[in-house]
Chain A
Amino acid sequence: MSLPALRPISAWGLFALPGRERQSESLEAASATAELSRGLGRSYGDSSLPATPESELLCTTLADRILAFDDGSGLLTGEAGLALHEIHRLLMPRGWFAPVTPGTQFVTLGGMVASDIHGKNHHKAGCFGDHVTSLRMRLASGEVVTCGPDERAELFWATVGGMGLTGHILEVTFRMVRIPSPWIYQESRRVPDIESFIAGLKESGPDWPMTMGWIDCVSGGSSLGRGILMRGRWAEPSEAPARFPAMPPRLTMPFFFPSWALNPLSVRAFNILYYWKHLAREKRGVVSPWGFFYPLDAIQLWNRMYGRRGFTQYQCVLPEEAGQGAARRFLELLVKLGGASFLCVIKDCGAEGRGLLSFPKPGISIALDLPLRDWTQRVVNELNAFVIAEGGRIYLTKDTLTLPADFAKMEPRLAAFDEARRQFDPERRLRSHQSERLLEPAPKERP
Chain B
Amino acid sequence: MKTAILGASKGMGRALARVRAERGDDLVLLGRDIEDLERSAADLRVRGRGAVTVIACDLESPDGFPAVIEALFAGGIRLDNLVITAAHFGTQDELEADPVRARRLLTANLANTVELCERARVALLAQGGGTLCVFSSVAGDRGRKPVGLYGASKAGLSHYLEALDHKWRAAGLITICVKPGFVKTGMTAGLKPPPFAGEPDAVARQVSAAIDRGTPLIYTPAIWQLVMLVIRHLPRFVMRRISF
Contact = CB atoms under 8 A, between A and B. Distances in A.
A66 interface: yes
A65 B189 contact: no
A379 interface: no
A5 B185 CA distance: 16
A22 B46 CA distance: 28
B39 interface: yes
B42 A67 contact: yes
9 pairs of A and B residues whose beta carbons are closest in the complex = A23-B189, A65-B43, A69-B46, A66-B46, A66-B43, A25-B186, A67-B42, A4-B190, A62-B186
A72 B36 CA distance: 26
A68 interface: yes
A24 B47 contact: no
Contacts of B185: 62
B109 interface: no
A411 B147 CA distance: 54
A23 B191 CA distance: 11
A67 B190 contact: no
Contact of A4 (B9, B40, B189): B189
A52 B132 CA distance: 48
Interface of A: 2, 4-5, 7, 22-26, 62, 65-69, 90
B144 interface: no
A69 to B, nearest CB: 5
Nearest to B36: A26
B236 interface: no
Given A23-B186, A25-B10, A65 B192 contact: no
Given A25-B9, A67-B39, A62 B189 contact: yes
Nearest to B200: A62
Given A25-B9, A90-B47, A65 B39 contact: yes
B186 A5 contact: no
A24 B39 CA distance: 15
Nearest to A62: B186
B74 to A, nearest CB: 27
B42 A65 contact: yes
A24 B186 contact: yes
A24 B189 CA distance: 8
16 contacts: A2-B94, A4-B189, A4-B190, A22-B189, A22-B190, A24-B189, A25-B10, A25-B14, A26-B36, A62-B186, A62-B189, A66-B42, A66-B46, A68-B42, A69-B46, A90-B46
B148 to A, nearest CB: 19
Interface string B29-67: 000000010011011001100000000000000000000
Contacts of A23: 186, 189
Contacts of B39: 65, 67
A327 B141 CA distance: 65
Contact of B190 (A5, A65, A66): A5
Contacts of B186: 23-25, 62
Nearest to B40: A65
A22 B185 CA distance: 12
Contact of A2 (B9, B10, B42, B190): B190
Contacts of B192: 5, 7
A254 B43 CA distance: 34
Contacts of B47: 66, 90
Interface string B1-39: 000000001110010000000000000000000001001
Contacts of A7: 192
A195 B36 CA distance: 56
A7, A25, A66, A68: residue with the most chain B Cβ atoms closer than 10 Å: A25
Contacts of B190: 2, 4-5, 22
Interface in B173-232: 185-186, 189-190, 192
A397 B214 CA distance: 49
Contacts of B46: 66, 68-69, 90
A226 B158 CA distance: 66
B21 to A, nearest CB: 10
A2 B40 CA distance: 26
B229 to A, nearest CB: 27
A24, A65, A90: residue with the most chain B Cβ atoms closer than 10 Å: A65
A22 B36 CA distance: 20
A4 B186 CA distance: 12
A109 to B, nearest CB: 13
A65 B11 CA distance: 12
A66 B40 CA distance: 8
B42, B190, B192: residue with the most chain A Cβ atoms closer than 10 Å: B190
Contacts of A65: 39-40, 42-43
Interface in B47-95: 47, 94
A25 B189 CA distance: 10
Given A2-B190, A62-B186, A65-B42, 12 more contacts: A2-B94, A22-B190, A24-B186, A24-B189, A25-B14, A25-B186, A26-B36, A65-B39, A66-B47, A67-B42, A90-B46, A90-B47
Nearest to A22: B189
A66 B41 CA distance: 10
Contacts of B42: 65-68
A62 B186 CA distance: 7
A26 B189 CA distance: 13
A447 B122 CA distance: 73
Contacts of A22: 189-190
B10, B39, B46, B192: residue with the most chain A Cβ atoms closer than 10 Å: B46
